[in-house]
Amino acid sequence: MSLVRFRITTLDSANALSTQELDALDEGDARRQALGRGLRVLSVHSSRLRGPRRSKLALVAFSGELVALLEAGLSLVEAIDALTEKEQDASVRGVLEGLRRRLYEGQSLSTALAEFPSCFSPLYVATVRASERSGAIPEALRRFIAYQEQIDTLKKRLINASIYPAVLLGAGMLVVLFLVVYVVPRFSGIYEDIGGDLPWASKLLMQWGRLLDSHGMGVATVSLAVLVLLIHGVMQPAFRGAVGRLLVRIPTVGHQLKLYQLARLYRTVGMLLRGGLPAVTAFEMTRGLLTAATQPRLTLATRAVREGRSLADSLASHGLTTPVADRMLRVGERSGNMGEMMERIAGFYDAELSRFVEVATRLIEPAMMTVIGLVIGGIVVLMYFPIFELAGSIR
């Protein structure tokens, strides 16, 4: 969250008029700061921005430090005071100062957190709000830390598995681009001078080379325009939704994507249920974590729960379970420990996803190397094939 510099005209206790500048999150925050100094505010004007920076608040680190301070015996206000005083980053310090002021004004922690939506997600605020009823804020924060670390671990695993294939694909594309843009046009000029018959594929490649040689700027402009349109299309939700629906239709890939969605659903709902939130509220808060294709099914399942159906039946009837998960959910309902059971199901899904990622990575890497090698080799053979023909005729 960016800080804004405000110019404030005030009256002090002696009715002396003064103008000063201070940094605040918004106009209301600026007024509260001035009132906290015992000043009477006459006018507030935005002076300038201190950089359009977002807060660099690390939510997991902040939560861990807050838990440590609370368990050490500090009160909530004292803990926020300590975190504010030790913070060096200006944007993070501004957020913590805003939290501290609101706590001093008598607001609850969840209400104060909700005023900084760019730093604290609705899920985080709901977790804290549920814990305030029971007074178990440290325990709720520990659950959120564990939840976020598990989510981050799965994301890192997927990202790490895709790094090498992405680098391999990028290097292969650069080599192909170099051959097609730089080498082929020069070969096309040589073959045009030599003359003679060329194979159909070689003729096509040489025609492309002559096109680049004579209209290179136009081809570059058109290619750039197509690339911009492609990037714009990829950024559109409709395009991503269409790609997602296409991937879901692939048997193995679609099953793993479903498991990934269910793992996020079960882990988040399980954490909220253990925090004391009702199932309907937990489902409604989790809806935004799912894809557009899965959200309607969760909405129907939430409606079924609200109408009195069991949680396991509601999820199963709308395709939000697997055979293993369905059995575990029913056991959780009988034991009254649904939150912990849903987190166990998410862990089961994570293990299955990890195995799939490991196997897929081992298969994709050699497959990509083979395809890239065939493409590069094909271009080279098509360029040198006329030379082979010419050498054979001379011999």
Average pLDDT over residues 344-372: 84
Query: Which pTM does this prediction carry?
Result: 0.60
DSSP-derived secondary structure for 61-108? HHHHHHHHHHHTT--HHHHHHHHHHH---HHHHHHHHHHHHHHHTT--
Question: What is the CATH topology of the domain spanning 4-49?
Answer: Ubiquitin-like (UB roll) (3.10.20)
Range 281-306 burial, b when 16+ CB lie within 10 A, else e? ebbebbeebbbeebeebbeebbebbe
> C-alpha distances in angstroms, 250 versus 41, 202, 244, 258?
64, 36, 10, 11
Say which residues have a Cβ less than 8 Å from residue 141's Cβ, sequence separation at least 6.
63, 64, 66, 67, 127, 128, 131
pLDDT in tens, 99-129: 888 888 888 888 888 888 778 877 788 778 7
Which CATH code for domain 59-145?
1.20.81.30
pLDDT digit string, tens, across residues 35-89: 777 777 766 766 544 433 445 678 888 888 888 888 888 888 888 888 888 878 7
Tokens of 303: 């409606």
CATH 1.20.81.30, applies to 146-395: yes
Same fold, 4-49 and 146-395: no
Domain ranges of the chain: 4-49, 59-145, 146-395
